Amino acid sequence: MMEKTIEVKNLKINYRTMEPAKVTKLFKKGRRVNLEHAVKGVSFDVYKGEIVGLVGQNGSGKSTTLRCLAGIISPDEGEVNLFGNSVSLLAIGVGFQKELTGRANIMLSGLLMGFTEKEIKSKMKEIIEFSELGKYINKPVGSYSSGMHSRLAFAITAILDTDILLVDEVLSVGDARFKKKSHQKMKELIMDKDRTVIMISHSLDTMKKMCDRIIWLHEGEINMVGKPKEVLAKYEEFMTGEK
């Protein structure tokens, strides 16, 4: 029997936004709060070693779902069960404290991922070397360029191995040489038969080659689940029709 590593039941996530207002009305009471339903009762299971792709138009709930699985945001309703597995999210612009140094953020990120201080320290040198940040590792992350920020995030996720890897449209990090290195490392991480992966990518060719299943989200709901060839063919047909 296949070992279940992720179980999502009736997941609902809402965002609350204030209605637009003129400057003169910004501080007045009574402004309407709009409720945006980002994820609307989604349920699915993922099994050990499986690679699952999420596709859908912008605003379909893909990234919100991954952030919920990573524990960054909490669901308004429903349940997420990771069965005690460690999880990491590789996404641009997520998870760093800007006032802390790169080194301190490595420690913080590792602790949030469930690693002990001893485990993180044993990997610290390897993470720093992979990131190629040199002396900047002791500078506040808020002073980093977007490329440096991305390289540090990638290095942490690549070196601190977790049972579940969530990938949100990354890999464009650093110069051509670093991109080649990060692509190779990501391929190793994703193809590890013991690691469960959920990935978002706008490259449908990548999804076809790597994924075992595809979940198509549309306006916060599951539209279709199945083999990559079948689901992506329907998705491409839909997107072509939309355009």
| Mean pLDDT of all residues in 127-147 | 93
CATH number at residue 170: 3.40.50.300
Q: How far apart are the first and last CA of the chain?
A: 43
Secondary structure element (H or E) that encloses residue 23, with its range = none
Reported as a single tens digit per residue, the pLDDT across 212-240 is: 999 999 999 999 999 999 999 999 999 98
Tokens standing for residue 111: 């602790």
- What is the torsion angle, in degrees rounded to the nearest 10, for the CA atoms of residue 76, residue 222, residue 46 and residue 51? -120
Q: Which 3 state secondary structure label does DSSP give 38?
A: strand
Residue 22 pLDDT: 59
Task: Tell me which residue has tokens 């390897």.
Answer: 126
CA angle 45, 50, 55 (to 5 degrees): 70
**Which residue range is the domain that position 133 belongs to?**
92-162
80 and 167, same domain (yes or no): yes
| Mean pLDDT of all residues in 205-217 | 93
Specify the number of domains making up the chain.
2
Is there a domain that residue 187 lies in?
no
Reported as a single tens digit per residue, the pLDDT across 28-52 is: 666 667 788 899 999 999 999 999 9
pLDDT higher than threshold 60 for residue 172? no
167 and 74, same domain (yes or no): yes
Is there a domain that residue 134 lies in?
yes
Residue 177 pLDDT: 78
Tokens standing for residue 150: 């991305």
Q: Which 3 state secondary structure label does DSSP give 166?
A: strand
pLDDT higher than threshold 80 for residue 175? no
Residue 31 pLDDT: 61
134 and 100, same domain (yes or no): yes
Q: What is the DSSP-derived secondary structure letter of residue 94?
A: -
Is there a domain that residue 225 lies in?
yes
Report d(CA 220, CA 12) in Å as an integer: 9
Report d(CA 28, CA 70) in Å as an integer: 37
Task: Tell me which residue has tokens 């709060």.
Answer: 33
12 and 73, same domain (yes or no): yes
Reported as a single tens digit per residue, the pLDDT across 61-103 is: 999 999 999 998 999 999 999 999 999 888 765 668 999 999 9
φ/ψ of residue 88, rounded to 5: -135, 145
DSSP codes, 69-92:
HTTSS--SEEEEE-TT--EEEEET
243 and 169, same domain (yes or no): yes
116 and 70, same domain (yes or no): no
Give the residue from 141, 162, 183 where a domain finishes.
162
Between 58 and 172, the higher pLDDT residue? 58
98 and 46, same domain (yes or no): no
Is there a domain that residue 179 lies in?
no
φ/ψ of residue 164, rounded to 5: -120, 130
124 and 60, same domain (yes or no): no
Tokens standing for residue 70: 């990573």
Residue 94 pLDDT: 64
In contact, 167 and 92? CB cutoff 8 Å: no
114 and 49, same domain (yes or no): no
Tokens standing for residue 101: 């140094």
Query: Please, is 181 exposed, middle or buried when counting C-beta atoms within 10 Å of its C-beta (0-12, 13-18, 19+)?
Result: middle
- Calculate what percentage of the chain has a pLDDT beyond 90: 60
Closest CA to 78 of 68, 88, 70: 68
